Amino acid sequence: AQSVTQLGSHVSVSEGALVLLRCNYSSSVPPYLFWYVQYPNQGLQLLLKYTSAATLVKGINGFEAEFKKSETSFHLTKPSAHMSDAAEYFCAVRDSGGGADGLTFGKGTHLIIQP
């Protein structure tokens, strides 16, 4: 069975500082990996995805993530935080082997931006 671990339910950074949100997964084969963001009172929005092409994936709003098979990680980064980045972020995996299509999510990380 797949599982996703997001370290830290809340992460606080200063505006302009580096954002690093951690995600580790457990899967028998390298899965497809996703980062979603949820702003208040909105649905989840896809930030970026890894589907076995380039290991460094660039997404929207200046975010990127790197797939590291040896570390079973898919950490999300942004060089310079903006106040508008304050939201909840979810890492998710999906089977890449033609099996189930439902996503398995981590518990989410609230990103807090300090002025």
**Residues 21 and 111 sit within 8 Å (Cβ to Cβ):** yes
Is 9 exposed, middle or buried, given 0-12, 13-18 or 19+ CB atoms closer than 10 A?
exposed
The alpha-helical segments, DSSP class H, found in 44-107 are none
Tell which one of 28, 43, 53, 115 touches another protein (CB under 8 A).
Answer: 43
Tell which one of 26, 45, 52, 80 touches another protein (CB under 8 A).
Answer: 45
44 scored as a contact of another protein (CB under 8 A):
yes
36 scored as a contact of another protein (CB under 8 A):
yes
7 scored as a contact of another protein (CB under 8 A):
no
Minimum gap (Å) between residue 62 Cβ and another protein: 19
The CA distance from 86 to 11, in Å, is 10
Tell me the CA end-to-end span of the chain in Å, nearest whole number.
Answer: 41
Report the site for another protein in 85-114 (rule: CB under 8 A).
90, 92, 100-108
Which residues of this chain interact with another protein, rule CB under 8 A? Answer: 4, 32, 36, 41-46, 49, 51, 90, 92, 100-108
